[in-house]
Amino acid sequence: MMSRLRFNVLDRMASMNIDLDEAIDNLRGVRHRTFLSLVGIAVGAASVVALINIGENAASESARQFRSMGTDILVVQNGIAMQGARAMNLDDIQSIPRTIGPEAIATPFSTASVKVWLHGKSADTTAVGVMPELSELARLNPSSGRFINAFDGHETFAVIGRGLADSLEANSAPIRVGEKIRIDDYFFTIVGILDESARNPLIPVDFNQSVMVSMKSIRRALASNGEISGALVKIPEHADPVVVAAQVMDYLRGRANNNGIQVQSASQLLDGLRKQSRLFTLLLAGIGAISLVVGGIGIMNVMLAGLAERQREIGVRMAIGAQRRDVLRMVLLEAALLSFVGGGAGALLGLVVAYLFTVISGWGFSISIFSLPTGLAMTLLVGLFFGIYPALKASQMSPIEALRAE
């Protein structure tokens, strides 16, 4: 019994090898059409694999940027005070750590639109009233000089962002610590220039393009009422950002009787980003699938053209005893072979394209674990789908009519 089973298995394997060799010979006989069909299916597979990887890497890069800004930071924004409500004040912000734990840090900021002059140049920008803790929470690092400290008080000291400094430099002369910068009607002494920093979309201030002064200075010297525009809150290490954000928002709204106050965390933004990235990746895969369908049509054309030239051969096969399923299997094997070879080459090409795209974009590259199996599976399915019609047409030929074909 075992020997008969082994013989049947070996017989089937030998038969498959013969069918495979024959399929290769048939495709080699129309090598020009076969090559064009392989190019079409390879481009389709490459599109699917490349677009899935690009989508995944784009989402990973965005998530990495948000994490670098700090997932333990909450951003509080002042709402419009309705009747019976008031805006947040300094006491509200400074009392936040009492609600979420002593390890928390909360620092307010106030903004005002100003005009600055330096080196004979002027610019419209934002003055930000800050406290010393903001440099740690917003990850602001001076490239020269220092940040605003607790001893500055009402002194007219200023720290300027890297982007603003670049726009105010005259004749390539760098701005130096100790120079005077005019902000509206007051002259401030520059005590620090910041490094370039990543923009946090949650914070309504671009520190690269802003000038920072002490909270007391912005109230005294600039056209600002000193109203708190928002705050940054660093939460304890093991706290849930979403839960803490809700607690802080309820606390502030209760103190100010202001339902317009909003508290957001990078974690909430990351969750939304992950959902969007999944939809984005599916959309890109769908776009790549269109190219794959075009490649599948190329497979069908090769099959149909080959059958038109091999009608007599198929008629001879059926006349000497070949079953319809044998002819069906022969044509489907040719379609599968085209799909497999074209899909494999396309998958490798797609990885190369995705890698080059990420290098040019300055991203880190990682291979999506779903891209290769998805690309190859879609390629085989499309190839077999478009190979079914030629296979059915070949298997349904009349042997007599086929033998009469020239």
> So where are the chain's domains?
18-65+271-404, 79-104+241-260, 105-234
Residue 325 binned pLDDT confidence (cut-offs 50, 70, 90): confident
Q: Per-residue pLDDT tens for 164-205? A: 998 888 666 788 999 999 998 889 999 999 998 877 777 888
Q: Are strands 142-145 and 186-194 parallel, antiparallel or unpaired?
A: antiparallel
Q: What is the pTM of this model?
A: 0.60
Q: Per-residue pLDDT tens for 332-376? A: 787 788 888 888 888 899 899 989 988 888 888 888 888 888 888
Residue 406 binned pLDDT confidence (cut-offs 50, 70, 90): low
pLDDT of residue 178: 92
Q: Per-residue pLDDT tens for 60-118? A: 777 776 666 667 888 888 766 555 567 788 888 888 888 888 788 899 998 888 899 99
CA end-to-end distance (rounded Å), the chain: 48
Q: Per-residue pLDDT tens for 20-52? A: 666 676 667 666 777 877 888 888 888 888 888
Q: Which residue has the higher pLDDT, 220 or 384?
A: 384
Segment among 157-161, 230-234, 242-246, 391-395 with least mean pLDDT: 391-395
| Residue 297 to residue 294: CA distance in whole angstroms | 5
pLDDT of residue 164: 92
Q: Are strands 180-183 and 105-118 parallel, antiparallel or unpaired?
A: antiparallel
| Residue 319 to residue 313: CA distance in whole angstroms | 10
The alpha helices in 70-192, defined as continuous H runs, are 90-94, 97-100, 134-137, 162-168
pLDDT of residue 331: 76
Residue 132 binned pLDDT confidence (cut-offs 50, 70, 90): very high
DSSP string, 143-177: EEE----TT-TT--EEEE-HHHHHHH-BTTBPP-T
CA separation, residue 342 to residues 69, 112, 313 (Å): 43, 61, 27
| Residue 388 to residue 315: CA distance in whole angstroms | 19
**Helix, strand or coil, per DSSP, at residue 334:** helix
Crossing angle of helices 371-395 and 31-69, rounded to 10°: 150
Residue 245 binned pLDDT confidence (cut-offs 50, 70, 90): confident
CB distance 159 to 148 below 8 Å: yes
